Every structure is written in C-alpha cells, then in structure tokens.
Amino acid sequence: MKNTTYIEAITSALYEEMERDESVFMIGEDIGLYGGVFKATKGLQKRFGEERVIDSPISEAYIVGGCVGAAMVGMRPVPEIQFADFITPSMDQIIQQAAKIRYRSGGQWTCPMTVRVCCGGEVGGGLYHSQINEQWFFSQPGLIVVMPSTPYDAKGLLKSAIRGEDPVIYFEHKRLYRSVKEEIPEDDFTVPIGKAAIRREGKDITVVAYGLMCHKSMEAANILEKEGVTVELIDMRSLLPWDREMIFESVKKTSRAVLVQENTKTGGVMAEVSASITEEIFDYLDAPVTRVCGLDVPMLPFAPPLEHYFLPNAEKIVRAVRKVLEY
C-alpha cells in the first residue's frame, strides 16, 4: 500500500494503462513537455513519447473531435480539457458524435474515449477557472459520467473508464488534487462504474454527495455526531449511470434525505435523484427531500467571501439536516 494524493492516483492510472495497452494515448494543451497545468501528466511524455502524449493547439473542438475519430478506428484516447469552463467548444463532438455513435450505428461502432475534465471551485479561480458542469452531460444517454472523491476511486474509476467501450466524461476536482491522500494498493485494481459507496453508516438521515461535496458532507456528519445524529453518507462517484439501488435502500432505512452538489441548483444531478426518490419510494419518507447546492448565478465569484457564500459547505449541510430532522 502506498500513501497517494488524488493527483498522484490519476497520474499512476494513466501510466499503468499506457503501459498495459499501446492503443491508449493522451492529447491536450500543455500536457506533454510541461506535464499539464496541474502536473497530472508529469513525466509521461518522456516515458511514452510525443506520439502518445501529444501537446495540442488551444482547440477543444480539435482535441475531442480527433479523439472521436481515433476511438472509432481502434485507439483509446484520453483527451484532457484543461478547465471545465472551456469544454463548450467540444460539445458538438461529445454530444452529437461520441454519445450517439453506438446507437446510430446499431452497435457496429463504439467510441472508447475518456475525456478528463478539471473542474470545481474553492481555489480562488474566478470566473473562467472554477466551473463545475457535470449536469450538462448527466442528461445525455450514451455518455458515462463519473466524479471521484478519493484517490482510490480516482485511480480505479479512471482505469475502468479507459478500458470501457463507451465515451466517459471523467471529472476531477482541482481542490482535491493535493488536499486528500490515502493508502491505495500498488497492484492493479479497478472501481466499477455505476456503483456508489457508503462512506459512513448511520440510521437517522441519508446524505448523498459526490466530488468535493463528499468531504464537506463528512465534516457536517462529524459535527452532527456530537449532537447525537448519525448520518449515512453515500458517495455517488458514478453519476451516469447512478446507483439507484444503494441510495433507495439507504433512504428506506433512514426515511430522510439531504442531497448535496456543488453545481447550481436548477436542473442538477440532485434534482433527478430527488425526483426519483419521490416517485419511487415516497411512502418511506418522513420529511421532504432537501437539496444543498450552489447558487443559481452565471459563474463562481472570484472574491473569497463571495465564493464561500456561493458554495455549499459543512455549515449549510448541517442546517439542512437539522431542518429535515425537525420536520
């Protein structure tokens, strides 16, 4: 077992998959000689060469569009979108092409492509370097969407994504890159896509989160424990598909649910989870399903007090849990 940061886990997964399979290659802005803006690909070009770790022009449409074609003819590309804020130029290639290739070809073609997307706030990145936009892709059949919260899952989900046959949008939260660390196996392992994880068992209320919000929810659970409240914390980690069975079973047990996401509230991932709980297991609920989300504003503010006001945090989650328990 090796004590590993979140970003080290990503680098390790990329290295091992490129060693394992010669069809795996990477392309992105500054990922080669420079090693990526956050150093996630540091040393990989030196090891695998310029034809497998490709420094691209500043064109997300070119990066992803070229990878769609490469994936269709047998390669396993791993394009990097340096910041989630700039994924929009590649939306046509992702939504209209990659997501629909298997369906439109009747299964004759697939698109085994893993798009790494650096996302998230709480880093003072300001307007165009802090967005988190997983809900744009969550509603698109044909895509897989994941967002790990731990180094173990960061490595295991990335390996599963690269080995799969469908396009994956792999969100990695920049706030977690060097702020979380854990021991992970040095042997080969994967984490199954579509399965959530119980991070903390409890009987009073279910809290569902993903990405950075799992850590904020754990902080809230620790505060509530001192008040005699036991929180069952579920890390979705796989957003599309998501683990209905695990979440439903937890809510059936606790009869209450608080759903936490960093993204804006309207039309988010947790809106779908909330609707599904209400539609399918309403009779088990003792209180309304409640969401804790980012504010519905166009962009994350730069000023630290405003960023703090926008983002969910442990204090906001604790207030929401108390309100649901008092219902």
Query: Does pLDDT of 210 surpass 90?
Result: yes
Q: Where in the chain is the domain with CATH 3.40.50.970?
A: 2-184
pLDDT score recorded for residue 36? 95
Other Cβ atoms closer than 10 A to 106: 7
Q: Report pLDDT digits (tens) over 72-96.
A: 999 999 999 999 999 999 999 999 9
Pairing of strands 168-173, 181-184: unpaired
- Enter the pTM of the model: 0.97
Q: Provide the total of helices (H) and of strands (E) in the chain, helices listed first.
A: 12, 14
Can you give the pLDDT at residue 126? 83
* CATH 3.40.50.920 boundaries in the chain: 197-326
Residue range 35-49: mean pLDDT, rounded: 96
Residue whose C-alpha is closest to residue 99's, from 240, 238, 272, 270: 240
Choosing from 129, 173, 215, 308, which is the catalytic residue? 129
CATH class of 2-184: alpha beta
Task: Say yes or no to pLDDT of 124 above 90.
Answer: no
Over 90: is that where the pLDDT of 125 sits? no
pLDDT for the residue numbered 118: 97
Predicted pLDDT at 299: 79
**163 has pLDDT over 90:** yes
- Tokens 């219902």 belong to which residue? 327
Predicted local confidence at residue 148, as pLDDT = 98
CATH topology of domain 197-326: Rossmann fold (3.40.50)
pLDDT band at 179 (very low <50, low <70, confident <90, very high): very high
Cα torsion 104, 106, 110, 114 to 10°: value is: 50
pLDDT of 2: 87
Mean per-residue pLDDT over the chain, rounded: 96
Longest dimension (CA), the chain: 60
pLDDT of amino acid 302: 87
Each residue's pLDDT tens digit, 214-258: 999 999 999 999 999 999 999 999 999 999 999 999 999 999 999
- Given this model, what pLDDT does residue 89 score? 97
Active site residue 215: no
Q: What percent of the chain has pLDDT over 70?
A: 100
pLDDT at 31 (0 to 100): 97
301: confidence class by pLDDT, cuts 50, 70, 90: confident
Statement: residue 174 has pLDDT above 90: yes
- The closest alpha carbon to 261, from 320, 301, 304, belongs to 320
Q: Check residue 107 and give its pLDDT.
A: 94
285 secondary structure, DSSP code: -
Determine the Cα–Cα distance for residues 177 and 63; give it in Å rounded to an integer.
Answer: 23
H or E element at residue 208: strand 205-209
Phi, psi of 144, rounded to the nearest 5 degrees? -115, 135
